[in-house]
Structure 1
Amino acid sequence: MNDTTTTAEPTAATVTDEVRLALEDDIRQGRLRPGDALDVKAVAERFGISRTPAKEALLQLAAAGLMNFSPRRGAVVTRLEPREIFGMLEVLAVLEAEAARLSARRMSNEQRQALDAVQIEAGQAAERDDIAAYTELNFRLHGLIYQGCDNAYLAGQIVRIRERLAAYRPVSFERPGRMSASHREHGAIVRAIVRGDEPEAHRAMTEHITVGGTAQAELMLRMR
């Protein structure tokens, strides 16, 4: 009997997904900024792949609204118009507040504990002034709330808007005091969710998105 095993070669779809996720992370962490250009050849060389999956990854990012294609520059990280920015933030405040309210009602004890743990870790990142770590933990904390609301349609709408704003997120934490303020705002949200206080969770999230969104929008407009 032959005990040897074979490892499947990665498919084009798998490679494309890996590249897309890596580039999404670059955008979310601020390594790629609005207006930055990405050449298919350069992407292929960076990941050691052919141009076909590299181009497909960029097309998927464009479909998600994270990239645009320019005849002269190729793929470019999306720059948003002021009206788009403020419109998205207004809708986001409504949707995220409802997600927080539902999470206060529906989250399991394990989910509440996980949320509290991420909040503690985010506080440590804020104390270190570690923007990259805080950006990732901010992403995780909000993600736990989307999961906890137990409404896939609501969560999907929020994620789509947040993806469009992803390139601007790390920059908002570069504003002096914004990271610490964000952590304090998260604290009010987390405490309300953990104790099951739906009205307070809704109020705290509305304030967080409104206050944080205003600061973020100001920086977004400076980056244009």
Structure 2
Amino acid sequence: MRASDRAYDVLKDDILQWRLAPGTVLGETEQSERLGISRTPLREAITRLAAEGLVDTQRGRAGVVTDVSPANLTELFELREALETQAARLAARRRKAEVFLALRDDFLAAPAGLDRDTAGYYDLVGRLDAAVDAAMANRFLLASLTGLRSHLARARRLAQDNPARLAESVAEHLLIVQAILDRDEMLAAQATAVHLRRSLANLLDTAGSPGASDLSSTKGTP
């Protein structure tokens, strides 16, 4: 693996996991020493991260980890709604029933384990995302969603687990899955939009709560 690729992978993971918090200055000397590389591959990595919107290079050559603000979150979810509603439409049009039948069964069983296995529920949501990605069969849309998800992964760490919200989320995902199974493109898109708007409202609400500042212990509510 090239030094610039390795630096990119490490820095991106550090940013997404909040080991490099918003506002962190990526000093060339410090980061080069930390990563064990020269400045040239470091600059290449930072340029890639800047193109993805994770680093701001306008304040100086070193780069600064970009902020996650309520305004940014709203913009992210506006784009997310546009992309994911279309993905849901295409998934409803092209899906393989057996995949979504299995997901429906798992979402039906999910409420029983929410109080003890939230990580398992997040994995289930990830499986639904992957199933929709595969079913929609559109590589250009997938590329756009993949870029967006880096920002969403970072934003979710601002939120706290909310049992009531998790229960609502299960019902919302079930409606999406059923609409895809029924090949109901309009309902799949509308159900996705409702889920995303409620998720944004929850995220904006919990991100401002006192406990949200403890980023090491938050997981994010879907």
TM-score, L = length of structure 2? 0.70
SS in 1 for 2:63: strand
User: Aligned partners of 1:82, 1:181: CA distance in 2, in Å?
Assistant: 22
Q: Which runs of 4+ in 1 moved over 6 A?
A: 120-125, 221-224
Q: Is 2:179 the counterpart of 1:192?
A: yes
Give me the identity figure in percent: 33
1:176 aligns with 2:152: no
Matches within 5 A, 1:46-125: 46-69=34-57, 71=59, 74-80=62-68, 82-109=70-97, 111-112=99-100
In structure 1, the partner of 2:142 is 155
Q: Does 1:208 align with 2:184?
A: no
Shift of 1:50: 3.6
CA contact (8 A) 1:122 1:138 kept: no
Q: 1:69 to 1:190 in 2, by over 3 A?
A: same
Q: What does residue 204 of structure 2 align with?
A: 217
TM-score, length of structure 1 as denominator length: 0.69
How many residue pairs end up in the alignment?
A: 210
- Cα RMSD for the two superposed structures: 3.8
8 Å contact from structure 1 (residues 27, 166) kept in 2: no
Gaps of 5+ in 1: 1-9
Partner AA of 1:105 in structure 2: R
Q: CA deviation at 1:63?
A: 1.1
Q: 1:194 to 1:95 in 2, by over 3 A?
A: same
Mean CA deviation greater in 40-49 or 145-154:
40-49
Aligned AA (2:23): G
Candidates 8, 13, 18, aligned match of 1:25: 13
**What are the superposed Cα offsets for residues 58-77 of structure 1, whole Å, 9 maximum, x if unpaired?**
22111110111375794332
